[in-house]
Amino acid sequence: MAATNRLACYSDPADHYSHRVRIVLAEKSVVVEIIDVEQGRFPNKLLEANPYGTLPTLVDRDLALYEPTVIMEYLEERYPHPPLMPVYPVARGNTRLLMHRIQRDWCSLVDLILDPRSKEPARVQARKELRESLTGVSPLFAEKPFFLSDELSLVDCCLLPILWRLPLLGIELPRPAKPLLDYMDRQFARESFRQSLSSVERAMR
């Protein structure tokens, strides 16, 4: 694959996995070319870089990365300021475990709801589970300014794209989820978060 002179991120402007990578890029003020790609209409350069034809895909000269968590951790190491991972191994392990739990418990439900192949009864059940699960953990967001942290972390970068899409998912959080709703208001107002949004995502709210 021919080397490129600058960082490029092939991104689906509607996809929450692409969004989490764009949040990391915005938080770290990385100079990057965001290339919007519609699903099923992949440019040749993307297919050359990523044999799986998946999004997001990050290209940094002759390096191509195409798994969201791998991309995020690469960016954390490549651009260490501001840090989005704790310094100490135990805390870093807990951060990775939280990211895994978000993927397993919440992203799986989001993916099911948004998949056009899903049956409506399955969607209804997934919406109920996601709404109840987010409401159940809401008190945790009253303890610290970020999700179980005093500083923004990769965990927030995984969670915020889901929360931004709640109207799209057909989910409205109840009043008991106020700590989570307050967290959403704070994070959505951050300049870096606003910069991470594609035009498609801005239209979601």
**How do residues 88-110 score in pLDDT, each as one tens digit?**
999 999 999 999 999 999 999 99
- Are residues 64 and 130 located together in one domain of the fold? no
Read off the DSSP letter of residue 105: I
Per-residue model confidence (pLDDT) at position 2 = 43
Q: What is the arithmetic mean of pLDDT over 4-18?
A: 89
Which DSSP letter does residue 83 get? Answer: -
pLDDT tens-digit series, residues 160-193: 999 999 999 999 999 999 999 999 999 999 999 9
Domain span including residue 184: 87-189
What's the domain count of the chain?
2
Q: Is the pLDDT of residue 6 over 90?
A: no
Give the residue from 55, 76, 97 where a domain finishes.
76
Question: Closest Cα partner for 158 from 145, 147, 173, 143?
Answer: 147
pLDDT of residue 38: 81
d(CA 41, CA 100): 29
Cα atoms in the Cβ-side hemisphere of radius 13 Å centred on 22: 27
Distance CA 115, CA 4 (A): 34
Q: Tokens for 187, please give them.
A: 């994070």
Please write the tens of the pLDDT for every residue from 42-92: 888 898 899 898 999 999 988 999 999 999 999 999 999 999 999 999 999
- Please give the average per-residue pLDDT across 25-51, as a whole number: 90
How large is the average pLDDT for residues 112-118?
A: 97
> Quick one: pLDDT band at residue 4, thresholds 50, 70, 90?
very low
Q: What is the mean pLDDT of residues 111-129?
A: 97
> Rounded mean pLDDT of 117-137?
97
Is the confidence at residue 3, as pLDDT, over 60? no
Q: Are residues 185 and 93 in the same domain?
A: yes
Distance of alpha carbon 72 from alpha carbon 79, whole angstroms: 10
Do 118 and 178 have their domain in common?
yes
Judge if 50 and 120 occupy the same domain: no
Higher-confidence residue: 110 or 143? 110
What length is written for the chain? 205
In a domain, 162, yes or no: yes
Whether 19 and 105 share a structural domain: no
Q: Which amino acid is at 161?
A: P
